[in-house]
Amino acid sequence: MRSGSTYIKNMKLCEKLCFVGAMSILLSTMCLSIIRPALLLYNFSFLYICLYFLRLYNYWKNKYLLFMLDQCYFINFVSLIFVWLLPHSHTMQLFQFGLANAHAYGGTFLFRNALVLHDIQRLTSCLIHVLPALYSFLIRWHPSETSVWWYTDLYDSHASR
């Protein structure tokens, strides 16, 4: 009986920590996208890598590893490659913008991803579908503001003119 109550207390603690983390992520994403969009790219990169390895561990533990071959993970990797390795490539920008705003963002509504702030699995699913669309929007429409603290200038498609 004692181990069951300990398990429930640990689960409640994990849910509380996840909720605090989710609120921090939401507030920092909102503030960064308005005040300093360049820092959102660093935030996205760090956040995605952490959530990816957490998801990889959970799926490996539950023998769901083939779900990691989903298109949304590919889109996030394309987004990371675009931002870190090919920031001057117009073709890569179009490719990433199309994938992030059509497939990844559309999957949010198609699969009814819910933003459940105390569930790390649902939070991860929501973030990996929404964040690439958010920062592709920033790079496409506000490239000069997004490039301010970035290591190089991002490609300016002159879309805001």
Give residue 160's pLDDT: 65
**pLDDT at position 117:** 85
Q: Which of 40, 45, 29, 102 shows the shortest CA–CA distance to 72?
A: 102
Residue 135 inside a domain? The answer is: yes
How far apart CA 100 and CA 136 sit, in angstroms, is 7
Q: How many domains would you assign to the chain?
A: 1
Please check whether residue 154 lies inside any domain of the structure: no
Domain region containing 10: 2-146
CB 58 within 8 A of CB 66: no
Residues of the chain with pLDDT under 50: 1
The reply to whether 151 falls in a domain is: no
pLDDT value at position 111? 73
155 belongs to a structural domain: no
Question: pTM, whole model, 2 decimals?
Answer: 0.84
Phi-psi region of 81 (alpha: psi -120 to 50; beta: other; left: phi over 0): alpha
Q: Does residue 153 sit within a domain?
A: no
User: Does residue 96 contact residue 78 with C-beta atoms inside 8 Å?
Assistant: yes
* Residue 12, in any domain of the structure: yes
Residue 99 confidence (pLDDT): 92
HSE of 96, CA atoms in CB hemisphere, 13 A: 29
70: in domain: yes
Residue 116 lies in a domain: yes
